[in-house]
């Protein structure tokens, strides 16, 4: 199991070997996920619980707000299993949660769950209705105030239907992002997704500025984290965006904000790491998204797959049924950087399903 | 795989279990390596690149300034493979490089490469031409200023023909070191080496003081590190000299400087660790070198060998064709202190050669 370069070179990643990492999981709900058939990231009818359950399982190994681990209709378990496996094999030095608008708060004690008074966002089909400027500033402020002890931050997310809002966001900001976005589906339901995205874009009015567009078509995770990540970079805190096309969209949002405010960024301490499943996904193009940035970026994937298991639910990952989430890509990078093997992760994930 | 005591007792080493280590690799070139047949530490005609390539491979897993990993004429790969394997299996908490006069700077990003404005030294056959006092003071100053986060330092080296300059240094300082020095050769070319060392010694003039002698017959690594290690000991920073007879020579230089300046050292926080290949080398005597010190020292070797592999290039180590370098002995100690096995290191090193 090794870290492979998508863009840039390996040095950013190699330099982090043996260093201490803080894992942040950013959590939010958007009513976009309530549109039937738009996502398979969770249990039908209870999709909104996915970030809540992911958090409970990642932190405690238990699913408390529902009996079973969130699975997709075909029975693909959450990529949070991978992140949890890594955390058991070589713990993150700090594990922290960002409540960016959860419907149901996770039942966890002790773990820091940062609350910013953010409510779930609306469906982008009818208008997300986010105060984007306020949310961006909350992210920026949190980055400035956060007391940081470790060497780097790994930032993951759990946002059902987040690839749909990410696609709408990238398109609304003027990026040629059609067919570059991943999905939790193998055969991504492009017709539903596209009609929702089209509706979202039609809500944008001529003369909308950047933040007005974000308010209508984006999600809390993307907007808050654009401020958070920019603030971290101002403090020169090394940050790994742990995710696939949603995290690429976050970079595009940051790119647009920089242009909008006539600023530049030193992106030397910023990178992205995703899974092999995203990297090899024929239905999306993370490299293409990253190439649209005006600043240089290091991006990686880890060549972990489930070839060492016979478990049918896990085999579905290798079939393309699930690809990324709960910071799995960044967690796998953290595992690589600390000597954990593919075999160890496979056995640990299997143990959760017994 | 265990740590064995050469001199002293095991307590120094045992105390470091689970503690955080900074690995420093000190890099330099001496024109002594350009004398035909004097060293096999590298590719003929490109010996000067060895420290550059060792650094690139240790830090990034890639050899950037040349296509293939530096091998000796018989095809023995650099002991840097062992150090890299350890770094992958249980990463050093910090990996840092000291440029003590490189001909070619390694192509690495992010990793700290400390630069002191030092140029490669001359051949000791005609005079090394080093400002020894200035270099010693640079080492001392760096030790005083270095901001240290971890629990101990492991100090390795990559200096082609470094055993020749080490032998000349020990002899010039009056130590009875004949036939106590190791070589990267199995059948060390003692005639060439001896004639170079004889020429070096004949360059010393009657009445030369300690630093004048070092200026003529030594190398940048030994001189800078004598200041660096003395400075670290003044700060009570635990230091493991990772190497064989060259690191023993460094201790002899320190010993002479202490006598010369009428000082003493508390060597309680200083030790040396080398490989089994150096320890068992019939052509050298590291224990004999260490017994000439006026201060007590703990010295170890790790009983790692390549008995678990079938790879012919690695088997050459067990035949005595290569013994030490790039801090391999200290890296093996770090591996032992953190639960890494001989089997794990063997498999990882093999993976580099596939």
Which residue out of A11, A89, A266, A337 would a mutagenesis test of the B interface target, given it has the greatest number of B Cβ atoms within 10 Å? A11
The per-residue pLDDT for B332 is 98
pLDDT tens by residue, A105-130: 999 999 999 999 999 999 999 999 99
For residue B157, the surrounding DSSP H or E stretch is strand B152-158
The answer to whether B60 contacts A10, with C-beta atoms less than 8 Å apart, is yes
Which residue in B87, B92, B108 is closest to A11 by CB distance? Answer: B108
What is the predicted pLDDT for the residue at B213?
A: 98
B89 reaches A (C-beta below 8 A): yes
pLDDT digits (tens, 9 = 90+) for A298-344: 999 999 999 999 999 999 999 888 899 999 999 999 999 999 999 99
Query: Which A residues, 314 through 353, put their C-beta within 8 Å of a C-beta on chain B?
Result: 337-339
- Count interface pairs A-B at CB distance under 8 A: 43
Cα separation, A346 vs A349, whole angstroms:
5
Name which of A11, A18, A339 is nearest B110 (Cβ-Cβ). A11
The answer to whether the CB atoms of A339 and B89 lie below 8 A apart is yes
Question: In the 8-state DSSP scheme, what is residue B270?
Answer: E
Percent of chain A clearing pLDDT 90 (strictly above): 86
Looking at beta carbons, which residues of chain A come within 8 Å of B87? 17-18
Question: 3-class DSSP state for residue B187?
Answer: coil
Q: Is the pLDDT of residue A68 over 90?
A: no
CB-based contacts of A114, cutoff 8 Å, min separation 6:
A96, A97, A98, A99, A142
- Mean pLDDT across A5-26: 97
Contact A339 B90 (CB under 8 A): yes
| Amino acid B72: pLDDT | 62
- Above 80 in pLDDT, residue A284? yes
Helices and strands of chain B, counted as H and E runs: 14, 8
Interface test with B, best of A2, A7, A18, A338 (most B CBs within 10 A): A18
Question: Shortest CB distance from A10 goes to which of B62, B87, B90?
Answer: B62
pLDDT band at residue A69 under the 50/70/90 scheme: low
Structure tokens at B229: 């290690």
Does B93 lie at the interface with A, CB-CB under 8 angstroms?
yes
Residue B91 has its nearest CB partner, among A11, A12, A17, at A17
pTM over 0.90? The answer is yes
Is CATH 2.160.10.10 the classification given to domain B3-352?
Answer: no
Q: What is the pLDDT of residue B59?
A: 97
Facing A18 at nearest CB: one of B59, B92, B108: B92
The minimum CA-CA distance between B277 and chain A, rounded to whole Å, is 26
**Which residues 4-33 of chain A have a CB within 8 Å of chain B?**
9-12, 14-15, 17-19
Two tokens, residue B187: 């059948």
Helices (H), chain A: 11-15, 50-60, 80-89, 132-145, 162-172, 190-203, 210-217, 220-234, 245-260, 276-279, 286-290, 312-318, 328-336, 342-352
Question: What is the complex's ipTM, to 2 decimals?
Answer: 0.88
Closest Cβ opposite residue B91 in set A9, A12, A339: A339
Q: Who among A9, A19, A338 is closest to B109 (CB)?
A: A9
Strand partners, A302: A3, A275
A148 touches chain B (CB under 8 A): no
pLDDT at A261 over 70: yes
Percent of chain A with pLDDT over 70: 95
Q: Is B110 in contact with A15 (Cβ distance < 8 A)?
A: yes
Contacts of B61 in chain A (CB under 8 A): 10, 14
Q: Is A110 exposed, middle or buried (0-12, 13-18, 19+ CB in 10 A)?
A: exposed
Residues in chain B within 8 Å Cβ distance of A11: 59-60, 108-111
Cα atoms in the Cβ-side hemisphere of radius 13 Å centred on A243 = 32
**CA-CA distance, B302 to B2, in Å (whole number)?**
6
Residues of chain B with pLDDT under 70: 67-74, 183-190
Given CB atoms, is B150 within the 8 Å cutoff of chain A? Answer: no
| pLDDT surpassing 90 at residue A42 | no
Query: Looking at chain A, which residue has its C-alpha nearest residue B85?
Result: A339
pLDDT at A162: 95
Task: Give me the pLDDT at residue A125, please.
Answer: 95
Contact between chains at B91 and A337 (C-beta distance less than 8 A): yes
A115 CB-near residues (< 8 Å, 6+ apart): A99
User: Can you give the pLDDT at residue B183?
Assistant: 64
Asked if A332 and A44 count as a contact pair (C-beta separation under 8 A), the reply is: no
Torsion angle defined by CA atoms of residues A39, A42, A44 and A45, in that order, rounded to the nearest 10 degrees: -100
Q: Which of A11, A18, A338 sits opposite B109 (nearest CB)?
A: A11
The 10 Å Cβ neighbour count of residue B262 is 6
Query: DSSP string of A116-177?
Result: --PPPBPPTTT-----HHHHHHHHHHHHHH----SSEEEEEEE-TTHHHHHHHHHHHTT---
Q: Which residues of B touch A12 (CB under 8 A)?
A: 109-110
Question: Is the pLDDT score of A245 beyond 80?
Answer: yes
Is residue A185's pLDDT more than 70? no
Any CB–CB contact under 8 A between B96 and chain A? Answer: no
Of all residues in chain A, the one with the smallest CA distance to B59 is: A14
CB contact under 8 A, A12 and B110: yes
What is the rounded CA–CA span in Å between residue A217 and residue A172?
7
Closest CA to A15 of B317, B183, B97: B97
Least confident segment among A182-186, A253-257, B76-80, B113-117: A182-186
Contacts of B245 by beta carbon, 8 Å cutoff, 6+ apart? B163, B166, B167, B180, B181, B182, B278, B284, B286, B289
User: Residue A74: pLDDT above 70?
Assistant: no
Contact flag A11-B111 (C-beta cutoff 8 Å): yes
* Contact check, Cβ <8 Å, A10/B95: no
Phi, psi of A27 (to 5 degrees): -125, 130
Residues of B in contact with A337 (CB under 8 A): 91
């Amino acid at each position: 199991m090794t870290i492979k370069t998508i863009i840039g070179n390996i040095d950013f990643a190699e330099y982090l070997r043996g260093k201490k990492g803080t894992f942040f999981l950013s959590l939010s709900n958007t009513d976009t996920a309530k549109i039937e058939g738009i996502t398979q990231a969770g249990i039908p009818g209870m999709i909104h619980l996915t970030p809540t359950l992911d958090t409970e399982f990642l932190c405690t190994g238990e699913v408390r707000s529902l009996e079973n681990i969130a699975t997709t209709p075909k029975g693909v378990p959450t990529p949070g299993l991978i992140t949890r496996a890594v955390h058991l094999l070589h713990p993150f030095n700090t594990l922290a949660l960002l409540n960016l608008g959860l419907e149901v708060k996770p039942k966890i004690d002790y773990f820091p769950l940062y609350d910013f008074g953010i409510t779930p966002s609306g469906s982008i089909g009818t208008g997300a209705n986010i105060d984007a400027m306020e949310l961006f500033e909350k992210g920026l402020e949190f980055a400035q105030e956060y007391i940081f002890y470790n060497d780097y931050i790994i930032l993951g997310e759990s946002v059902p239907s987040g690839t749909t809002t990410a696609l709408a966001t990238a398109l609304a900001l003027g990026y040629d992002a059609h067919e570059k976005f991943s999905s939790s589906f193998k055969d991504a339901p492009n017709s539903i997704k596209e009609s929702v995205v089209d509706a979202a874009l039609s809500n944008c009015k001529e003369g909308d500025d950047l933040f007005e567009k974000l308010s209508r078509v984006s999600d809390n995770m993307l907007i808050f984290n654009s401020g958070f990540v920019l603030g971290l970079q101002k403090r020169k805190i090394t940050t790994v965006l742990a995710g696939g096309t949603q995290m690429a969209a976050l970079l595009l949002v940051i790119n647009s904000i920089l242009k909008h405010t006539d600023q530049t960024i030193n992106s030397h301490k910023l990178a992205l790491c995703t899974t092999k499943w995203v990297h090899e996904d024929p239905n999306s193009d993370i490299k293409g998204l990253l190439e649209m940035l005006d600043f240089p970026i290091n991006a990686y994937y880890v060549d972990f797959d489930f070839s060492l298991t016979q478990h049918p639910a896990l085999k579905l990952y290798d079939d393309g049924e699930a690809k990324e989430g709960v910071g799995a890509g960044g967690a796998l990078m953290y595992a690589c950087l600390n000597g954990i093997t593919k075999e160890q992760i496979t056995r640990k994930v299997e143990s959760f399903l017994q």
